Every structure is written in structure tokens, then in C-alpha cells.
Homo-oligomer: A and B are copies of this chain.
Amino acid sequence: MAAPFVIVGGDAAGMSAASKAKREDPDRDVIVFEKGKWVSYAACGMPYYVKGTVENLEDLVAVTPEAFREDRDVDLRTGHEVVAIDPGTETVTVETNDERFDQPYGDLLLATGARAIEPPFDGIDLEGVFTLRGMHEAKAIEAYISSRDPETAAIVGGGYVGIEMAEALINRDIHVSIFEMLPHVLQPFGNATARIIEDHLSEAGVELHLETAVEGFAGGDAVESVELGDGPAVPADLVIVGVGVEPTVELAVEAGIELGPTGAIATDEYGQTNVTDIYAAGDCAEDTNVVTGEPDHVPLALTANRAGRAIGSTVAGDPTPTGGTAGTAIVKAFEMGAARTGIIDLDRAREAGFDPIDVTIETPTRPHYYPGATDLTVTLVADRETERVLGGSVVGREGTKRIDTVATAVTTGVTVSELQNLDLAYAPPFSPVWDPILTASKVLAGKLDR
């Protein structure tokens, strides 16, 4: 009998691996150590809990601990922190409130996730200053709003979390300011998309401070203002710091597991680390970028779920690649959506060895005669030499899931003219004859011809 499959971390990657391994190989023990209390929760749903769209935090839990234990026969232990790995003896050391013990493993999966980056801002420990990474933080923010009734909020960082939280807080009747160091919000989406979202955020009442460095936070008992390097302080009864995440890799590093160029745990195509029998998946691990073929770190839910599931199969005896990432993402900002995939940033494309060319077009989502059409702005990026599609973004009030067509295209390596020749669905209630993705590829093909 093989030693147990031990998993460190009970969210997307960990629980997907546990479920899959147990389903494929029911006789083998699968033990999950989760240091917190929440498992298998939809972190992406947390802003909608704060917003009030999701009534109970518990609703974000996909599968309860009881269901994992009883229905799926997974030995799930919450409140258990793995504090050391000994690859030599294939053992992990586990701490709980009242004991410390060693657990042998046959295979080990590190699914330790990522944590919110907390820059060394003055006053970051003031009451009313939050990051949003785990369920306890979502609960704490909601409780703070309900009990303190803040009038003004500052969001530091114009990424997904910042924008989703802006919508959430405006919905709670709080005045919101976003502070972003870069020239634009949503940097990975490209400037054309970012500008449209910025206009929309402003229309929605969000006060945008771009190219603005935050120095810290001031207040007495609780936070009262944001201090800027340049200009007067801005009042804020609530602060959300959402400047990105960093992979949680200390446990891995101490055990001699190698990190990759992104700073996350390096893995092969099966999610295996440089140490035999140790895998890594989810927000703590690297994936292969399907466009560049290089390691990338895209801490998003689907990648984590898929890699976990694949490792579950592999460990159960059916070697399954974890699949690559195209860095596909979509975000709602009030009445609009923005989506991206592949490589959009021209400098990044050049670094990856491409000679990029891009185009941005604005086109209606339906024929002119059919009511309700709105404008969709599509950006496409291709390599001049091979004409391969490298990436793209889409922004508008509807139809932004069209990014999936571009994601499929960048993954399968199609050229601009192949993209242009795709037979996409048309009927007046759904699309113009030339779908916006096709129109963008026509324009890009024309630009390539010149």
C-alpha cells in the first residue's frame, strides 16, 4: 500500500487534486492539511459578498468540509499547518493548536496559494486597512462596513480586486477613490481597454488617481486618510490594499524545492517540482505560458483547479499534463466587462522574441438595425513575421466572453488570416455578420499587409 497522498492547502488546487485522486484511486489515503478553516471557496466571489450580491459568505464554498470527508472520503484536516517538509524521509511536519506530528507521504502536493502583497506603507496596521485574499478578510471588511458605516474608501491598486471592490463599495454607498501607481488601471489588459474602463469608473463615481504613489495611511483609532507622496491627504474611513499577490513558497524553499524565474515554484508539465514525488499547483506554482512556452505565474482560479485535477490523476497513476496558461482573465466593472488573453504588452512580446503589431477597433455587438447594440472594443496583437496571433483584449457592456475565441486562437497558434477566416456564429440578436473578433482580425491583416 502506497503511503498517503498528502496535500498542503485546501483551496482550488488542493481540493481538486484530492477529489480527483480519490475518485481515480479510492483505496489510497488522501490527506489535506489546511491551516485555516475555509476550504474550497470561491475567492473570486468575495467582492460580491462585500457588495451584497452574495448574501452569506458560506455561499462561496463550493464543497463543504463535511462533503469532502463524508461523500468524497478525503481526510481533510482544517486548522492544521504544515511547517516543514523532509524530502529525504518523505515526511511533513504538521502543527495544530495543541500538537505537532510527522506525517509520511508517498506523493506530496504543495497548494499553498499566494498572499496579498502588503507594501511597507506607514499605518498599514491601522484599523480599517484591509487586504482581500481570504474569506476571513472578506468577512472582516463586511463587518467593518456594517458596523462603522464608512463614508469614504480608498482602494490602493487598480487591478481586478481594486476594480471589483470599487463596484462593491459604491454599491454600499461609500465614496471610492482608487490609487494606481501606473499610468493605467488593469495593466495586463492593455491601455486601450484600460482607458475605456477608466472612463466608465469615473462615470460610476469612482475618483481615479493614476500615476499616484501612496505613502501611507493616517488616523487615530482607525484609518482616516491616505497620505500621498505628492499632494494633500485624501480622506478614507476604509482602505483596501489590492496591489497584487505573491506566491507562498517559504515551506517549499526550506525543503530545497526550486523556484522559477517568476518567483513561484518551478514545475514540469505534470506539475512536478525538482524534488521527486513533490508537486505544486495553484497560486504558489508556475505554469507554462502557451504563447511563449516559458514559465509564467498567473494566479487564477481555473489554472489552479485544472492543475490540481491533473495532478490528482497523475498521482493516481494516469499521468496528465497540467495544461498551460494563456493568462486569460475577465473582470466586471459596474456595467462593463473587460477581458484579456495571451500577450498584449508590446514590450513583453518583444522580450519573448516576437516582432509585435497591434490594432484596436471599436465595433457594435449587433447589426445597426437590431436594438440594444453596444460598442465592443477589441485589441489584437500578432507577430509580424509569423503572423501568429499573440493575444488580445475585449471591453464593452456585453459580449466580452468573446475573448475565449482569442484564447483558443492563441493556444492553437493560429495566424491572423486563420483567425479572420473562422466561421463564428451570426444572427442579428447575437452578433454582426462579421463578429467583432473577425473585424479586428481583418483590420490587423490589412495592417500586416502594408
Give chain A's interface residues, CB within 8 Å of chain B. 12, 42, 44-45, 48, 53-54, 59-60, 62, 160, 290, 300-303, 305-306, 321, 323-332, 337, 339, 341, 367-371, 399-405, 407-409, 411-412, 414, 418, 420-431, 433-435, 437-438
Contact = CB atoms under 8 A, between A and B. Distances in A.
A337 B422 contact: no
A425 B412 contact: no
Contact of A402 (B62, B331, B341, B401): B401
Contact of A369 (B45, B323, B437): B45
Contact of A423 (B42, B45, B327, B400): B327
A292 to B, nearest CB: 14
* Copy count, this protein chain: 2
Nearest to A332: B429
A44 B435 contact: no
Given A302-B433, A408-B408, A370 B54 contact: yes
Contact of A426 (B59, B302, B412): B302
A373 B426 CA distance: 23
Contacts of A438: 302
A51 B306 CA distance: 45
Contacts of A408: 405, 408-409, 412, 414, 422, 424
Contacts of A400: 425, 430
Contact of A430 (B42, B332, B411, B428): B332
- Which 6 pairs, one residue from A and one from B, show the smallest C-beta to C-beta distance? A323-B421, A330-B425, A326-B423, A412-B412, A59-B369, A408-B408
Most interface-central of A337, A369, A435, A438 (chain B CB within 10 A): A369
Contacts of A321: 421
Contacts of A302: 423-424, 426, 433-434, 438
Contacts of A403: 425
Contact of A431 (B341, B399, B401): B401
Nearest to A59: B369
A433 B401 contact: no
Given A399-B401, A408-B408, A427 B329 contact: yes
B421 A341 contact: no
A167 to B, nearest CB: 10
Contacts of A54: 369-370
Contact of A405 (B323, B330, B371, B404): B404
Contact of A421 (B59, B306, B427, B434): B306
B331 A42 contact: no
A300 B423 CA distance: 10
Contacts of A337: 429-430
Contacts of A323: 420-421, 423
22 contacts: A42-B367, A60-B369, A300-B426, A301-B426, A301-B433, A302-B434, A321-B421, A323-B421, A324-B421, A328-B426, A329-B425, A329-B427, A330-B427, A337-B429, A341-B423, A401-B401, A403-B425, A404-B404, A407-B424, A408-B408, A408-B414, A409-B412
Contacts of A401: 399, 401-402, 425, 430-431
A412 B42 CA distance: 33
Contact of A371 (B53, B433, B437): B53
A332 B328 CA distance: 28
A368 B368 CA distance: 35
A303 B423 CA distance: 8
A411 B422 contact: yes
Contacts of A433: 12, 42, 44, 301-302, 305
B425 A339 contact: yes
A142 to B, nearest CB: 15
A339 B424 CA distance: 10
A435 B326 CA distance: 15
B369 A42 contact: yes
A426 B369 contact: no
Nearest to A298: B423
Contacts of A371: 53
A380 to B, nearest CB: 14
A200 to B, nearest CB: 15
